[in-house]
Amino acid sequence: MGKRIDFLWWAALYLFWVLVLQNRAFTLSKTWTIQFCYLLFIAANYYFHVGYAIPTFLYRKKYVGFGMLLVSGIVVTAILRVPLVIYMNNHFFSARGAQPPVTDIFYSSLLNISIWVIGILSFKLALDQLRLRKHMGEMEKEKIKAELDFLNAQFNPHFLFNSINSIYAHIDKRNPTARNMLLSFSEMLRYQLYDCNTHYISVDKEMGYIKNYVAIQQARKESSLQVCLSIGENVTGFLIAPLLFIAFIENAFKYVSDSDEKENKVHIRFEKREQGLLFTCMNTREGGKGGGIGHKGIGIANARRRMALLYPDKHALDIVDNEHIYEVTLNLQLS
């Protein structure tokens, strides 16, 4: 879609040059050729600056370097246009009078390319600024909503923790499973109430939360369920959006098969790669119960929305949902 829009935009600009700004001294065919030559050099400048100079220099506040690249790009393309114009005049056009001086061709090319490149880039930057403001507005609304939800859910947490400690003290010490489950639940609750009130958090804390959640689910499920949680040794020391994966893990335990005739599995894996973080979550399913078990859930929808806001164009989510397995693969680009 993006390439198609680019093509239509350049085609419209080309027709505008030919039909509105054409030099009446030229024939129409010559005008089409000359404007097309201009279009090539202007487009080359545009894509060079949008793809490299602007993100590498301008957005990082390296204004001198960006200015030098902008001027250099315009000058180089103006120079390259000179031999092309001379060649076209000598071999395709029967120009009246003498060939224009090389300096005239260069300065004409320099002026026209400068005006259009600076104008188009300014328009592009203005559009990007509007999109950024809209995106920041959406993020602010999401933050306010999350804070309100958090406040609504946070009913006297000190009383809640004191109650948990009281329950823990009354559980028979000969029942370590129940005591450990309650401790894990307490740590999860503390993480949600106190640590998650921010856009990003240490991945080590997030992995600790997931370990506690998996431990509780593993204890309450049937012993026939095979649970594998694999966290790579290099999944440490960086920031991540909190509670981004839990909706998929909750789905896995909620919809995992419980058949006595086959293996029931939940496999969860986190792996740090050069491009970012790879997360996979797979659970076996009961055959013949239809698809789409996790596509319409509120938790999954919220996770998708948060990824769109916090990792725009920096995530890839793939879901395999068939008769036997449900598998989520999420690639996050961390920088």
Residue 210, domain CATH: 3.30.565.10
User: Sorting pLDDT into bands at 50, 70 and 90, what band is 249?
Assistant: very high
Which carries the bigger pLDDT value, residue 169 or residue 55?
A: 55
| 169 in any annotated domain | no
Which carries the bigger pLDDT value, residue 311 or residue 96?
A: 311
Q: Which strand (E) or helix (H) includes residue 207?
A: helix 203-220
101 and 211 co-located in one domain: no
137 and 217 co-located in one domain: no
Domain with 214 in it? 196-332
Which carries the bigger pLDDT value, residue 304 or residue 172?
A: 304
Mean pLDDT of the region 137-160: 66
Mean pLDDT of the region 70-84: 87
Helix (H), strand (E) counts: the chain? 9, 7
Judge whether 299 and 251 are in contact, CB under 8 Å: yes
Distance CA 129, CA 133 (A): 6
> What's at 61, amino acid-wise?
K
User: Sorting pLDDT into bands at 50, 70 and 90, what band is 155?
Assistant: very low
| 258 in any annotated domain | yes
Which carries the bigger pLDDT value, residue 284 or residue 178?
A: 284
Tokens representing 269? 């894996």
Give residue 317's pLDDT: 93
| 273 in any annotated domain | yes
Nearest to 154 by CA among 198, 199, 194, 205: 194
Answer yes or no: is pLDDT of 2 > 60. no
Judge whether 77 and 44 are in contact, CB under 8 Å: yes
User: Sorting pLDDT into bands at 50, 70 and 90, what band is 116?
Assistant: confident
User: Sorting pLDDT into bands at 50, 70 and 90, what band is 28?
Assistant: very low
Tally the domains of the chain. 2
| 268 in any annotated domain | yes
Mean pLDDT of the region 89-96: 63
The pLDDT mean for the chain works out to 78
16 and 89 co-located in one domain: yes
Distance CA 142, CA 148 (A): 10
φ, ψ for residue 320 (rounded to 5)?
-105, 120
| 62 in any annotated domain | yes
Answer yes or no: is pLDDT of 159 > 70. no
Torsion over CA of 178, 179, 181 and 182, rounded to 10 degrees?
Answer: 120
Nearest to 193 by CA among 168, 236, 158, 165: 158
| 184 in any annotated domain | no
Least confident of 42-51, 139-148, 313-322: 139-148
Do the bridges between strand 225-231 and strand 264-273 make them parallel or antiparallel, or are there none, so unpaired?
parallel
144 and 201 co-located in one domain: no
Residue 114 CA: distances (Å) to CA of 52, 75, 138, 200, 254 = 18, 9, 36, 42, 61
Tokens representing 22? 């054409």
User: Sorting pLDDT into bands at 50, 70 and 90, what band is 1?
Assistant: very low
Answer yes or no: is pLDDT of 86 > 60. yes
| Residue that is last in its domain, among 148, 181, 214 | 148
Which carries the bigger pLDDT value, residue 103 or residue 197?
A: 103
Q: DSSP strand E in the chain: where?
A: 201-202, 225-231, 239-240, 264-273, 276-284, 315-321, 325-332
| 144 in any annotated domain | yes
Which carries the bigger pLDDT value, residue 142 or residue 7?
A: 142
What is this structure's pTM? Answer: 0.52
Which carries the bigger pLDDT value, residue 104 or residue 214?
A: 214
Answer yes or no: is pLDDT of 22 > 90. no
Give residue 294's pLDDT: 46
139 and 200 co-located in one domain: no
Which carries the bigger pLDDT value, residue 311 or residue 173?
A: 311
143 and 203 co-located in one domain: no
Which carries the bigger pLDDT value, residue 270 or residue 159?
A: 270
